[in-house]
Structure 1
Amino acid sequence: MGFRVPVIGLVLWWVSGLASAALTIEVTQRADDATPIAVAAFAGIEAENVNTGSIIRADLDRSGLFRTLDPSRLPGRPASSAEMLPGVWQNIGADLVVIGQATRLANGKYSFRYELLRKGGLERLLGESFTVDASRWRDAAHYISDKIYEKVTGEPGIFATKILYVNQYSRGGKPRYRLELSDIDGERQITLLDSVEPILSPTWSPTARQVAYVSFESRKPAIFVQNLSTRQRTKLTDFAGLNGAPAWSPDGKRMALTLSRDGNPELYLMDLDSRQLTRLTNNPAIDTEPRWTRDGRSLIFTSDRSGGPQIYRLNIASGETKRLTFSGSFNARADISPNDRYLAMVHQTGGNSYAIGIQDLSNGIFSILTNTPLDESPSFSPNSRMVVYATRKGRQGVLGMMSLDGRFKLRLPAVEGEVREPVWSPYLR
């Protein structure tokens, strides 16, 4: 069958030679009951730095649902199940086995073949063959990981998705800011904007072909939209006062944002074709940080109309507003999971300590997800199973990633400077 690389992979490969890993990975917590799975080193060109097997192992490990075996203890690296001796592979300590081969073709492309097997090779659960350009071998590895994850769990994998974040670093003793994009393992980092002025509130379009963010490059906040294919930037708003917190509607036709053009921070909708604005809130309080529900009919937002920051839901058609959070005196910067079930938010745990809180919207149960003191900017994975957020390691700003069940946790510190304001991409189309 043909291998369909997500559009963003096609869009950004022309700069792949300039990209380098800006994030490293530190696993800080693993699940004890994760499913053991053996991923053998791929036969063929595995020794040519096309480390397909190692990427698949790392992907599956990071899901929190799998525990991969040490490949050096496996009884071989078969290219296909026909080469396996079931009696040998049944005793490796894992019921699931991944094997495969990567081959360099005469035209410079790579051919990949993989199989997911059960019970030492006696049962074939999944298998495919496909060909890609040589520069896209990492996409091939993430694609295989996604297919394995989906076959075992019944849910789409997230390993081919991306993370957008802000990197603050120093040049000549002065701070600079970069808007960065990378794979979720920190590889293939690409700089979308480099500025001496702050960059805030990055967000993805629903197709992942564009991003929006707030830039202070003109010494005041303005909202920009940037096309990832052409790199073209368009200034969306630069009204007097606050221009902040952009959020695309699920259909990509509207942008929710926060403006203080009329004197007080309020929520607005902008039709992206006509640029027509519609004011949604009119309250003496500060209303900000909108996020869309999946059906595009409501917004989740932060307001201090009750005396302190809390999370509310606004029905766009009726204007009806309902308070959602009641645990503690400070809940802000919420993200709603793609399945509309959970809220992740910044929750004040006491004094100057802030953690990521999770509220189940189906039953109202609230829980604290993280145990570090300065956590902020949560963003859900597209399968609603994990959250990426900004945290600190000592004095350095780093990214954290954690499963909602709390069984798996890792840190992604920057190679240079500090990282903050992460946002997980939707599934790439």
Structure 2
Amino acid sequence: MGSTPTTEPSVPPESGPPAPESARPGPVPPRGRRPLVLLVVEQLTSSVGRQVTALALPLLAIAHLDAGPLGASALLAMTYLPGVLLSPLIGVTVDRARLRRLLVGATWAQVPVIGSVPLVAAVSGATWPHLFAAAAVSGALSSTQSVASQSCLPRVVPAERLLSANSWLTGARTVGLIGGPALGGVLIGFVDPASALLVECAAYAVAGALFLALPVALNRPPGDGGTGARSRVGALREGLAVIRRETLLRRQALAAAGLNLGGGAGSGLFVLYADQDLGLPSWQLGTVFAAYAVGMGTGVLVATAATRALGMARAIQVCALGAGAALFLIPAASLGAAFPVLVLYELLFGLLATVWSIAMTTGRQLVTPAHLLGRVNAFLQAVLTATLPVGAFLGGALASRAGIVPVLIGAAAVALAGASSLCFPRDLLADVERAAEKP
């Protein structure tokens, strides 16, 4: 089942007076815009590599260490936990660092970390301590790279192009999410899972080279570079002050938490529910998953046009509410016509959640001061990362007592309640639209 995607003053235009909203050009392909091309190719490359590893690492633990459900789940959790725990430190580091150097270093450091797994497996055999350590360090580096990439975009793309740029980056990640597992499955069919991890090493080597080709100006911190507060605690307070001050950011955090708690509970139970309660054959379940990819792809294609037609604030609001409401289709499938209902759910959720994610990211980049963007991105990424596994764990625990369908209804209600926090008052809607339109 699909899950909720993953959470500064505007840059002056290149020349001339600001164009009115109706006259602004639509999405522009990234060719001819070198920094955006580099970031799009990097997102595609890294996403494919991460998906191969997401399949290969647990299969390696199963094949070499006889891992059961608990071991495989714990290994997956270790890739997320460091990003949550270290998010405050990551945010301050991104705001104070030479950004291009940080992106290159964090990406190339993945090569020895991931490469150590097949090396140790070949020399002395895989061990649990080493797999957990590699997963944890790789997770911390991935979180750093993700926050730094989001903070980099507004500095290489003009404000009027941010929405289109975020659509291109989301599209690149979507291709990786779809193609990565298939590539991983084919590779593991020919080689050992440990050897398949070398694909991610190659992907990170290429991604680091792409970051190295970004403008050297990224090594100059924006604004005060996060040095307004000398201590790290003071720097964290500066970042949190922005979130407290900006209602849009606070409500984004609440909406993301609600959608991920509900979506996580539904995701954890989805396959079991479809197989045991609904009796879907494997080909129908595969089609349902494919429908989510179609919904995501459609969302990427229409996000810019839909956001400009509705206005950024309305797009954030409507798409979040629609994604939360779509979760009710999962328990509704138990009433009959399960296959078409679940296909409809995946199409709607994939479409709405993708448009919401793109509009939300763009809005955050527009209202957050450039020198604080790392801290704000890190905080919201921690919310997104932490709530999804918590929702899955709570959903499984409650379903063992109350049954799957009641928990799915409750999960949808939680998601919709979180999304309703984006029902802005009229004056806030106007403020968000002014931020989006300001050149």
TM-score, reference length from structure 2:
0.22
Q: Which one has the largest radius of gyration? A: 1
- Structure with a larger share of its residues in helix: 2
- Structure with a larger share of its residues in strand: 1
Task: Work out which structure has the larger RCO, using CA pairs closer than 8 Å and 6 or more positions apart in sequence.
Answer: 2
